A and B are shown apart, each in its own frame.
Chain A
């Protein structure tokens, strides 16, 4: 099967895992292993405190032998996000950044204007930006224009577990930007949601809470990995189209005649 290509790096796994809200670092490590993810996102804001004091936790994640994708979760302005990204680059020695600029503290809706602005600044500074956005085509266009080579549209708002709120929008995004990796991020609650995202042709799925808050995070991580593989396979296999008319699966000509 083809591999996932992100900014010149290639990956076998199509699941990206967030590292927040697990019962413990051990449970996080188990989930990472069970999912066989190769990319883990880390939130900087809560843990950093402008110091190296969070290093023990980060080292633990580094020891999992995965690529680290620092994120700017909890940033409410382009400026805040840019500062956080710069801090992350220094701490994790990576130019990857998952860019989140939140516009509303209740709904956690992305501030797409601030996002484009921050993306432009960070791309100019040499970052490889993974922008967390909506399914809006025009915003996506502007993000690409700003230099992003990946799109991360939401499934539904962060932490809601509602699955894909706008399949039509995600499909439109897919067909409009055929060569750009699309990672569905946020709102995924069940493996079936992730499968659906992959069936629509998304390149990967990023999730956190659905695994972290499951009673058994490792098992749920494995379930997601299986669902994502299934969805990817289905997409590549070329699914049949739904029809209004029933279609028999055996030919009538060959049917055995059981009448006496």
Chain B
């Protein structure tokens, strides 16, 4: 019997696991899928550690809590790239950038010449931009694998193919990190559908995440290894885990081609759909019930906010006073 049992090996479960192991807690971790991957929505994430540019749609608290992310990930995974984020808009949508620069603060304006200098393959893009120099990104699939390896080296192996029920576990404390699967116990949880693609092209290599603010379909492109980049993502108020619609694909690809017409020649090597677990305010939080803590509602910020939540969860596990401060779930 371990001190703490964690259910779910997505980004929430694995960050909590590492944080607890770092503090010397004996844990076990269960995952219902047969391997790391598609069963968890983290698999489809962008992997941007971009607290400031998330301010475009997220609240101040998300930015605040995301500030620890890059440092935490650097400690636990092999590759965190810190080259900032570039946010662009068509000249007619300059107002969107003005708004973000006011909200996100840690950025500076870049003109077309400088955009060409820092991202030479965006030579065709003629619009203003904002550079957020401190932001970072990672490859979420590699990062999840790295966390699994990190745990393995510390003698914790994820037990796959284990659809455990809360009442079956005899650990002292249980961390429920099952994402949307916990919606039966957390009635406030809803699913927000997202569609993403992975493109491969040798014509364009981006060196940092690039976002295009667009009133109808904003996108981001996150560079990955092997000439790939991730194109995301739609946000649809819907808990359907399938069905990539023609409209979404057209919208995403149209915006991609606005960044550079060369994306027209790219190969679509993957398209994915999943839902993000979110509470009504789109801000994640911890709830407790008996000896279980629910770590949930990470919405589109799994990699950005996973570390902050893991730290908070570990604090609560280690310290009875902080445990008592967690809100109880109904």
A interface residues with partner B (beta carbon < 8 Å)? 23-27, 29, 45-49, 51, 53-54, 56-57, 60, 159, 161, 213, 215
Contact = CB atoms under 8 A, between A and B. Distances in A.
Contacts of B245: 49
B321 interface: no
B238 A49 contact: yes
Contact of B281 (A26, A49, A213): A26
Contact of B99 (A25, A57, A213): A213
Interface in B52-68: 57-59
B238 A47 contact: yes
5 contacts: A27-B281, A49-B236, A49-B240, A56-B237, A57-B237
B59 A24 contact: yes
Q: Secondary structure of the B side of the interface?
A: loop
Most buried by B among A27, A47, A51, A54: A54
A48 B236 CA distance: 9
Size category of the binding interface on chain B? 20 to 34
Interface of B: 57-59, 95, 99, 102-103, 190-191, 193, 215, 236-240, 243, 245, 247, 278, 280-283
Given A56-B190, A57-B190, A60-B280, A23 B238 contact: no
Nearest to A28: B280
Contact of A47 (B102, B215, B236, B282): B236
Contact of B236 (A46, A159, A161, A213): A46
A24 B103 contact: no
Given A24-B282, A57-B237, 4 more contacts: A25-B282, A49-B193, A53-B191, A215-B102
B240 A51 contact: yes
A23 B282 CA distance: 8
Contacts of A24: 59, 278, 280-283
A51 B242 CA distance: 12
B190 A23 contact: no
A215 B243 CA distance: 33
Contacts of A213: 99
Nearest to A50: B243
A-B CB proximity, top 8 nearest: A57-B237, A24-B282, A26-B281, A53-B240, A56-B190, A54-B238, A53-B238, A26-B280
B239 A56 contact: yes
A56 B59 CA distance: 22
A47 B239 CA distance: 9
Contacts of B283: 24
Contacts of B239: 53-54, 56
Nearest to B99: A213
Nearest to B240: A53
Contact of A25 (B103, B215, B280): B280
Contacts of B247: 45
A113 B243 CA distance: 33
A27 B62 CA distance: 14
A106 to B, nearest CB: 9
Contacts of A47: 236-238
B235 to A, nearest CB: 9
Contacts of A57: 190, 237-238
Nearest to B191: A56
Contact of A49 (B102, B190, B215, B243): B243
Contacts of B103: 215
Given A49-B236, A60-B280, A23 B59 contact: yes
A215 B104 CA distance: 12
Contacts of A60: 280
A103 B191 CA distance: 32
Contacts of B243: 49
Contact of B237 (A23, A46, A215): A46
A23 B58 contact: yes
A210 to B, nearest CB: 12
Most buried by A among B191, B278, B280: B280
Nearest to A24: B282
Contacts of B99: 213
A159 B236 CA distance: 19
A214 to B, nearest CB: 10
Nearest to A58: B237
Contacts of B102: 215
B236 A23 contact: no
